[in-house]
Each structure stands twice: as C-alpha cells, then as structure tokens.
Amino acid sequence: MSDPMRIRAQVLADKTTVRVLVSHEMESGQRRDAAGKTIPAWFIQTISATHEGKPVMSAQWGPAISKNPFVQFSFKGGKVGDKIAVTWVDNRGEKRTDEAAIA
C-alpha cells in the first residue's frame, strides 16, 4: 500500500480549490532495471474526488503521468469543514482513498 495523499482544500471567494499530492510510483512499463529486464507497468488509471459524497472531479490517466503526481482542481459549493475524499485505482487493482476537511 502506498503512502497517504496530501490533500489541501480551501474556500477562496466563491469556489473551493483542492490541491492533492498523490504518492505512487507510476512506472510506465518502458524502463529497464540494472539487469536489463523491463520493469512492469504500474500506474494510476482513474482518480476521482467527492465533496460530501457527490462527485466533483474524475480523470483517467495512463503511463505518461509522473511519479508522485500533483493534481489541482476547483469547484463551487464547498464550505469550511466539509469533507473532500480523493480516490485512485491503479492498473494492478490497488485502490486508495484519503479524506480532508475544507479549511
């Protein structure tokens, strides 16, 4: 299992801005190890976010995304103290969900 995501959410003016630092190795499947063997692909395929259980962001990723990617998005309707949940699923079937409160 990977390390927790770092999630920061703030209400700025009339919108909520969410910043997420995702902890994941994100191997493309094109690199080789020291012995010359191909390192198997291992990357996040989908990432999504919910605000109080309602979807506010969804994305599909592939092997070209960097290791430990950073994601930022905004939406309207968030209030201080509301919960934001971010979930990713990778190509090995592993899944992680982390939550944060809007500040």
Span 3-50, pLDDT tens digits: 999 999 999 889 999 999 999 999 999 999 999 999 999 999 999 999
Q: pTM of the predicted model, to two decimals?
A: 0.94
Domain of 55: which CATH number? 2.60.40.10
Burial class (CB in 10 A: 0-12, 13-18, 19+), 84: buried
Number of domains in the chain: 1
Domain residues for 60?
6-101
Question: Looking at the domain assignment, is residue 1 inside a domain?
Answer: no
Question: Looking at the domain assignment, is residue 36 inside a domain?
Answer: yes
In Å, what is the CA distance from 54 to each residue of 36, 47, 58, 59, 84? Answer: 46, 14, 11, 15, 9
